[in-house]
Structure 1
Amino acid sequence: MATTAAQELDELCYLSAQSLPSLKVSEHFQVVKLLGEGSYGKVMLAAHRKRGTPMALKFFPRQSTSLTSFLREYNLSLSYCTHPSLTRALGIFFSTPTYYVFAQQAGLYGDLYSVIVSEVGINEECTQRVMAQLSGAVTHLHSLGFVHRDIKPENIFLCDSSCRWVKLGDFGLARAIGSTVRAVWYESPFCTPEVEPAKEGEKEWKSRESEGTQEEMEDIWITVEPCIDSWALGVLTYCLLTGCFPWEESTHDDRGYRRYKQWFDREAEKEKIREDKWSSGEKTDSYTIMEENQRDNPPPSQFQGLSSLVMTLFRELLNPQPKLRGSPEEILSYLGGAWLMETEKEERRKAEEAEKEARKIREAGGVEEELVREGRGER
């Protein structure tokens, strides 16, 4: 699949390169405002002068962008982003003397980062709604043979103010599953722990450079796999629920990550013990297991306030071992349940009240039945 997906995309890029027109932006579009900018370039909200269609124009500086990378992102967005929660290109692409440009669907309500309240996050219902959409979008992209590799709040765009419709965008780092890329370390909680050796390599390179050693170092290469996106979705879920990040970077010298890794390893040991008991005939329901975990092996302090259910989801998505990491589709299994302790307590309180009411009704029914029997003279 990886080879096929990559070949198909390369062919689309080759064909589109033959028909790249040169246009003057002001003649065809009315630029309204800046939507965002970054190292890639900038995105402008614009309207087509003849049709009046609103769209986002993505500008890539020609000086720092290769034609190949521009066409790869454009064609991937145009031909493969067919899920409603993936930002799709609109079939308009062109060049100017200073930019490569393509048009895409516009997120008129900003990005997800703009609605996350620092140290608060967004409400639980909204979090689950967003993650349900992203689970479907990323699973769809993976099914077509591609990994996004840059999932973060700034790349998720809002189609309404309540996050009822979000779209994952920015496919500049997307690559075919199974392709090989150079491992690049960057200081971010979204960076997967398996590329930590690249950080060590970078330190070694800087050390040699400062000492004047000219000896070259070999690059570290990794295979692009869907588990890269799973990790990012796990970090994003935490970010939405808390308004914080679980750690600064996923390395062993980061205290927050180290505490999580220690907790995770203890959970893995307990899981093995449970499996042994299960195979010997002892069985316990999953909810009881989750409660026991919270009590016997409490999560690190940065996860305080999160329910046992979402901690189980984190164990799936934030597995330090990439080959054992769960898929984005796993998120769907955890929707509808409590992801915050407050919600979990409230749901339990409601369940207890409902049980009390049911007991009263049953008891009242028993008394009425006895009176009926006595009235009939039954013994």
Structure 2
Amino acid sequence: MTAPAAQELDERCFLSAQSMPSLKVSEHFQVVKLLGEGSYGKVMLAVHRKRGTPMALKFFPRQSTTLASFLREYNLSLSYCTHPSLTRALGIFFSTPTYYVFAQQAGLYGDLYSVIVSEVGVDEECVQRVMSQLSGAVTHLHSLGFVHRDIKPENIFLCDSSCRWVKLGDFGLARSVGTTVRAVWYESPFCTPEVEPAKEPQKEREWDETEEEEEMEDIWITVETSIDSWALGVLVYCLLTGCFPWQESTHDDRGYRKFKEWFDREAEKEEKLRDGEWRSGEEIDSYTIMKENRRDNPVPSQFEGLSMLVMTLLKELLHPEPKQRGSPEEILSYLGGPWLTETEVEEQRKAEEAEKEARKIREAGGVEEKLLREGRGER
């Protein structure tokens, strides 16, 4: 799947390079407002003058953008982002004297970052709704042989104010599965722990300007779908709490170190139980084991408000070993249950009340049946 996908994308880029027109933006579009900007360039909301169609125009400065990278992102978005929760290009691309530009579907309600309340997060139902959509979108992208590599709230765009329809966008870092890329460490919880070895050489390169670059040996990694799984796990935490679980995914970070120590103890316990120490006749799974082990191995303090159900999901997505990390599709198995402790407690209280009512009804029914039998002279 990987090689054909990459080859096909390269062919599309080659063909589109032969037919890219040069246009004047103001002649064809009415620019309305700025939607966002970053290191890549900027995105403007615009209306096509002839069609009257609203769209987002993504501007890439020619001075800092190669034509190849521009065409890769455009063609990937145009031809492969057919899932309803992936932002798709609209088939319009052109150049100006200073920019490469392509048109894409517009997220008129901003991005996911804008609705996350600091230290509070987003409503739990909303979180599950968003993650359900992203699970499908990322799984679709992976099935075609591509990895997004830059999933974060700023790259998830809203089609309504209630997050009932979201779209993952910005495919500038997307690469085909199996591609070899230079490991780049950056200080972010979304940066996977497997690139930690690149941290020190990179810092040395940044601080020592006299260092001969050829003497600094690069670290290379293979692009795998587990990169996106990690980002989705961090995103779940961010949406539920309005915080990040750690500043960076390295052993220097106290928050990550606490998580890794908890994870290792949990994995050790699970391994022992799978080796035959579990109660005979009972089904074994990560959720059951975690509940059993809750007192002996309490979750790290930054996870205390989360239910065992979502902790089981995070244990899958945030596995320190990339080859053992769960897939985005697994998120679907955890929808519908409580993801916050307070919701878990409330559901348990309701279940207990329902059981009490059911018991009263059963007991009342038993008394009534007994009276009927006595009335008929039965013993």
TM-score range, shorter chain: over 0.9
Alpha-carbon offset, residue 8 of structure 1? 0.4
Alpha-carbon offset, residue 283 of structure 1? 2.8
Which residue number corresponds to residue 17 of structure 1?
Answer: 17
Contact 2:278-2:284 at 8 Å conserved across structures? no
Alpha-carbon offset, residue 278 of structure 1? 5.9
Q: Kindly indicate whether residue 37 of structure 2 is the aligned counterpart of residue 37 of structure 1.
A: yes
Structure-2 separation of matches of 1:266 and 1:121: 28
Question: What's the CA shift string for 1:60-118, capped at 9, x where partnerless?
Answer: 00000000000000000000000000000000000000000000000000000000000
Q: Kindly indicate whether residue 356 of structure 2 is the aligned counterpart of residue 349 of structure 1.
A: no
Structure-1 separation of matches of 2:5 and 2:145: 6
Contact 1:208-1:214 at 8 Å conserved across structures? no
Contact 2:34-2:42 at 8 Å conserved across structures? yes
Alpha-carbon offset, residue 257 of structure 1? 0.4
The count of corresponding residues between Structure 1 and Structure 2 is 378
- AA matched with 1:227: S
Any idea what SS the aligned residue of 1:30 has?
Answer: strand
Contact 2:266-2:290 at 8 Å conserved across structures? no
Which residue number corresponds to residue 339 of structure 1?
Answer: 339
Contact 2:270-2:289 at 8 Å conserved across structures? no
Any idea what SS the aligned residue of 1:362 has?
Answer: helix
Which residue number corresponds to residue 203 of structure 1?
Answer: 203
- AA matched with 2:276: K
The percentage of counterpart residues that share the same residue type is 83
Q: Kindly indicate whether residue 34 of structure 2 is the aligned counterpart of residue 69 of structure 1.
A: no
**1:220 and 1:20, CA in 2 relative to 1: closer, same or farther beyond 3 A?**
same
Q: How does 1:1-379 map to 2 (within 5 A)?
A: 1-206=1-206, 209=209, 216-277=215-276, 281=280, 283=282, 286=285, 288-379=288-379
Alpha-carbon offset, residue 277 of structure 1? 2.3
TM-score (norm. length: structure 1): 0.97
Question: What's the CA shift string for 1:315-346, capped at 9, x where partnerless?
Answer: 10000000000000110111001100000000
**1:345 and 1:40, CA in 2 relative to 1: closer, same or farther beyond 3 A?**
same
Structure-1 separation of matches of 2:214 and 2:74: 39
Any idea what SS the aligned residue of 1:294 has?
Answer: coil
- AA matched with 1:330: E
Alpha-carbon offset, residue 293 of structure 1? 2.6
- AA matched with 2:215: E
Structure 2 unaligned spans of 5+: none
**1:214 and 1:327, CA in 2 relative to 1: closer, same or farther beyond 3 A?**
closer
Structure-1 separation of matches of 2:108 and 2:37: 15
Contact 1:33-1:46 at 8 Å conserved across structures? yes
Structure-2 separation of matches of 1:21 and 1:246: 46
Structure-2 separation of matches of 1:177 and 1:4: 11
- AA matched with 1:28: H
Any idea what SS the aligned residue of 1:157 has?
Answer: strand
Contact 1:277-1:283 at 8 Å conserved across structures? no
Structure-1 separation of matches of 2:2 and 2:138: 16
Q: Which moved more, 1:271-280 or 1:127-136?
A: 271-280
Contact 1:306-1:340 at 8 Å conserved across structures? yes
CA RMSD, aligned part only?
Answer: 1.5
Question: What's the CA shift string for 1:19-74, capped at 9, x where partnerless?
Answer: 00000100000000000000000000000001110000000000000000000000
Structure-2 separation of matches of 1:185 and 1:214: 17
Structure-2 separation of matches of 1:225 and 1:215: 27
